[in-house]
Amino acid sequence: MEHDNKMPITDSGLAAHWQLNEGQGAVALDTVSGISDPIAYALLQGRFTEKADPQWRPGIQGGALLFDGYSTWITREADTAPKLKEAFTIAAWVAPRSYEWGAEKRLSAIVNQHNREAAEGYVLGMYRHGSWSLQVGAGGKWHELWCLHRPLAKGEWSHVAATFSTEQATMKLYLNGAQVAELALPEGEGMTTSREALWIGKNNQAAVLAEAFRHNMFDGLMDDVRIYSRALGVAEIAALCKAALAPHGGAAPAIALEVIGLDRTPLLRDRHRPQYHASPPVHWMNEPHAPIYFQGKYHLFYQHNPQGPYWAQIHWGHWVSDDLVHWRDMPIALAPEKEAVDPDGVWSGSACYDENGIPALFFTAGDDSATPNQRVGLARSRYLKDGDSDLTIWEKHPVPLIVQEKGQGMFGDFRDPFVWKEGEMWYLLIGSGTEGQGGTALAYTSKNMLDWTYHGPFYVSDPEAFPYLGNMWELPVLLPLGYGADGREKHVFLISPLGPGADVEVFYWIGGFDRKRIRFVPDEAEPQYMDVGDFHFTGPSGMVDPKTGRNIIFTIAQGERTPQLDYDSGWAHNAGLPVCIYLRQDGRLGIEPIAELESLRGERLCSLRSVTLEKANQALTSIAGDMLEILVEFEVADEEPLGLWIRQSPGREEETLIFYDRARQELGVNREKTTLSAEERSRGVQKGELKLKDEPLRLRVYVDRSMVEAYANGLKSLTTRVYPSRLDALGLRLEGRHSLMISSLDVWTMKSIYE
With H, G, I as helix, E, B as strand and everything else as coil, classify residue 323: coil
CATH code for position 741: 2.60.120.560
DSSP string, 464-500: TT-GGGBSEEEEEEEEEEEE-TTS-EEEEEEEEEEST
Name the band, by pLDDT with cuts 50, 70 and 90, for residue 6: very low
User: Of 153, 112, 115, whose CA–CA distance to 133 is shortest?
Assistant: 112
Residue 279 CB coordination number (10 Å): 28
Select from 246, 266, 300 the last residue of a domain: 246
Whether the upstream peptide bond of residue 280 has omega within 30° of 0, thus cis, is no
User: Of 732, 728, 721, 726, whose CA–CA distance to 629 is shortest?
Assistant: 732
With H, G, I as helix, E, B as strand and everything else as coil, classify residue 646: strand
Name the band, by pLDDT with cuts 50, 70 and 90, for residue 27: very high
Select from 186, 215, 246 the last residue of a domain: 246
Q: Which residues contact 647 (CB under 8 A, 6 or more apart)?
A: 626, 654, 655, 656, 674, 703, 708, 722, 724, 729, 730, 731
In a domain, 307, yes or no: no
Question: Hey, CA dihedral for 436, 437, 438, 439, is it positive or negative?
Answer: negative
Answer whether residue 365 shows pLDDT above 50: yes
User: CA-CA distance, 380 to 397, in Å (whole number)?
Assistant: 8
Number of domains in the chain: 2
Average pLDDT, integer, range 405-412: 94
- Give me the chain's average pLDDT, please: 96
Share of the chain above pLDDT 90, in %: 95
pLDDT at 210: 80
User: CA-CA distance, 54 to 39, in Å (whole number)?
Assistant: 7
Are 64 and 56 within 8 A, CB to CB? yes
pLDDT at 2: 37
Average pLDDT, integer, range 251-273: 96
Q: What digits encode the pLDDT tens for the residues 100-142? A: 999 999 999 999 999 999 999 999 999 999 999 999 999 999 9
Q: What digits encode the pLDDT tens for the residues 445-458? A: 999 999 999 999 99
Name the band, by pLDDT with cuts 50, 70 and 90, for residue 228: very high
Residue 523 CB coordination number (10 Å): 13
In a domain, 262, yes or no: no
Q: First and final CA of the chain: distance in angstroms?
A: 58
Average pLDDT, integer, range 34-49: 97
pLDDT at 211: 86
pLDDT at 385: 87
Looking at residue 294, its amino acid is F
Are 364 and 356 within 8 A, CB to CB? no
Share of the chain above pLDDT 70, in %: 98
Q: What digits encode the pLDDT tens for the residues 585-640? A: 999 999 999 999 999 999 999 999 999 999 999 999 999 999 999 999 999 877 77
Answer whether residue 422 shows pLDDT above 90: yes
The CA distances from residue 305 to 132, 347, 416, 575, in Å, are 21, 11, 18, 15
Strand pairing class (571-572; 283-294): parallel
Answer whether residue 694 shows pLDDT above 90: no
Name the band, by pLDDT with cuts 50, 70 and 90, for residue 4: very low
Q: Give pTM, 2 decimals.
A: 0.96
In a domain, 10, yes or no: no
Q: What digits encode the pLDDT tens for the residues 476-485? A: 999 999 999 9
Q: What digits encode the pLDDT tens for the residues 427-440? A: 999 999 998 789 99
Are 121 and 227 within 8 A, CB to CB? no
Is residue 159 classed exposed, middle or buried when 0-12, 13-18 and 19+ CB atoms within 10 A define those classes? buried
Average pLDDT, integer, range 236-247: 96
The CA distances from residue 394 to 216, 343, 355, 542, 743, in Å, are 28, 16, 16, 21, 52
pLDDT at 9: 52
Which residue range forms the structural domain that includes residue 709? 599-750
Are 511 and 493 within 8 A, CB to CB? yes
Answer whether residue 7 shows pLDDT above 50: no
User: Of 230, 188, 189, whose CA–CA distance to 91 is shortest?
Assistant: 230
Name the band, by pLDDT with cuts 50, 70 and 90, for residue 404: very high
Q: What digits encode the pLDDT tens for the residues 305-351? A: 999 999 999 999 999 999 999 999 999 999 999 999 999 999 999 99
In a domain, 211, yes or no: yes
CATH code for position 146: 2.60.120.200
pLDDT at 409: 94
In a domain, 504, yes or no: no
H or E stretch covering 243: helix 234-245
User: CA-CA distance, 546 to 555, in Å (whole number)?
Assistant: 20
The CA distances from residue 496 to 413, 474, 502, 557, in Å, are 14, 5, 9, 14
Are 311 and 210 within 8 A, CB to CB? yes
Average pLDDT, integer, range 62-75: 98
Backbone phi, psi, residue 498, to 5°: -150, 155
Is residue 610 classed exposed, middle or buried when 0-12, 13-18 and 19+ CB atoms within 10 A define those classes? exposed
With the CA atoms of 626, 628, 633 and 638 taken in that order, what torsion angle do they form, in degrees rounded to the nearest 10? 20
Name the band, by pLDDT with cuts 50, 70 and 90, for residue 555: very high
With H, G, I as helix, E, B as strand and everything else as coil, classify residue 265: helix
Average pLDDT, integer, range 654-670: 96
Answer whether residue 1 shows pLDDT above 50: no
H or E stretch covering 241: helix 234-245
In a domain, 320, yes or no: no
